[in-house]
Structure 1
Amino acid sequence: MEGIILKGIGGFYYVDTAEGLIECKARGRFRKTVGKPIIGDRVMLEIQPEDGTGYLTDIHPRKNSLVRPAVANLDLLAVVASAAPPVTDPFLIDKVTAIAVHKGIGALVVINKTDEDPGDDLFRIYEKSGIETLRVSALTGEGIERLKDRIRGRVAAFAGNSGVGKSSVLNRLDSGFGAEVGAISDRIGRGRHTTRHVELHPVEGGGYIADTPGFSSFETGQMDLVLAEDLQYAFPEFVPYLGQCRFTGCAHVKEKGCAVCAAVQAGEIAESRHESYVKLYEGVKDLKEWELLKGGTR
């Protein structure tokens, strides 16, 4: 029987199949191949007739995977942001979208709380970047149907800093999602609720949605990002300018004759996007390929 892992707790895996949700254990031999099963894995299993539980017998090849949070086979990684308090730092958006683009996962920026602030500046930045951007309001329902259409039939993970209304958006997408919605703390200016694990939830009309831990859990160093020379491709708006720099091997940070830096100065690339690139570049510039191979990301 075939299925998809929705949740893993204490060595047990809960697999969605044509026969319903099956509780399974994994065979130890997986540790010698793909490693430990993770959420989103497409698996084969055998059912035990005596109690209806199962054993995972095979894990299909993963088309992509993240290390932190551990999830596989995503079609879409949506970043929920807000221009209303607590305002999202663009670097946090850029960090996650860069991971998505590099991993071959569809990237989507969802600007929530448009009933308070339409987020015009954020919308312009990401529309220009080539990353799909939608505006929604979990309070009024604005844009929610369009977001539902975007995720229908797909495996989509949602990330977002605490307090931007990510859980409220997920509850709008599917009333059965059951995500706890936390109030904003007036004292610290951020949400009290933090999702601590990843779990896939089937949604009406087909597909799955996943709530993920906050931005701080997304690894941007050796595990879930890239070699420095590959980072440039994780920013789609850089691509038309690559190969046009004066010097081969340009880092696109502040070099003379850099076509990317010239595009930033000309307003073709948003300054905030380039600043995020530079910050990420500083974090990976000394990373060696053998370290990525050791971390299992290539």
Structure 2
Amino acid sequence: MRGRLALFIVLNFMLLSLPISASGQSEVPSWRSIGIDPDSWTDGPVKEDTPMNQSYQGNAVFVIEISYHTGLTSPEVQGNITIELFEQWAPITTTNIIEHIETGLYDDVFFHRVVDDFVIQSGDPECKTVGAYPVTSPQCSSGGTGETIPLEHNVNLSHVDGAMGMARGAEQDSADSQWYITDNEQHGLDPENRDDGGYAVFGIVRDGMNTVREIASTPTVTNPAPDNFANPGPDLLGRPIREVHIDSVRMIGVADPDGTIRFGELTEEAEPLITAKTLSISGLILLGIILLLIARIDPPSTLNQDTVITYDAMLINED
């Protein structure tokens, strides 16, 4: 009996020693552990003297995979646009974009507004081809998720060439899911140059700027004046004649200019293979096994003078 009691105590102690995961704590997505070397990006925008030139350690990176036709009889062209998100300067907007990407919101939509030497605009989940392009939802260009975010500005972010920003309506806090990429610098959209609060920049093209320029030069139904990002509406302002289709948008990793994610951090002393914590846990497990074996044999009862011992008779067969 005492052996079983000791075993019960030890097993409970061992259970309390095990690590307990915090409930409700979100797991880090796997793409956060993939480091991307900025030196691998070779087709970026024209640079200005701005903090946006530099790639920052740990910033999220995603790719827009696109297919389109440059001419009526030309073969399909595929291109990628790689974007770095400035999470440190636009946390609300970048979180919103990442959530939409991870739910696949932008897959299979098309660029619904293109203005050469200004912007290319997409991100409306209503803008999907129904049957054959340009047949689509009547809500195309005015759609979204129905959940808006506040207008977010930072002094380090501006509408340089290749900047990525949030489209919105007349209200400052009306940005939802639609976004745009600038074709050449468009500082007229910065808040200090406007009376309506301007538009929020949250990322920049790191690779694939030639693809942006090809899309921007795509012939359109009508050519809108590049004055604002209010939804174009049913008049098809800036709608490409031939579909510029987004095959997928996916997170691919984080910027790793330091190389710490790709190569790991170098330390002077190697981490010991067996730590004190490992030995402690192993010792508890071994102790539990020993007590389990002991507990299977109860200790003999103590005899006293009042104890009566009886023996059962055994029949022995005689040959």
Structure 2 length-normalised TM: 0.23
Structure (1 or 2) with the greater strand fraction: 1
Structure (1 or 2) with the greater helix fraction: 1
Greater relative contact order (CA < 8 Å, ≥ 6 in sequence): 2
Structure 1 length-normalised TM: 0.24
Flag the structure with larger Rg. Answer: 2
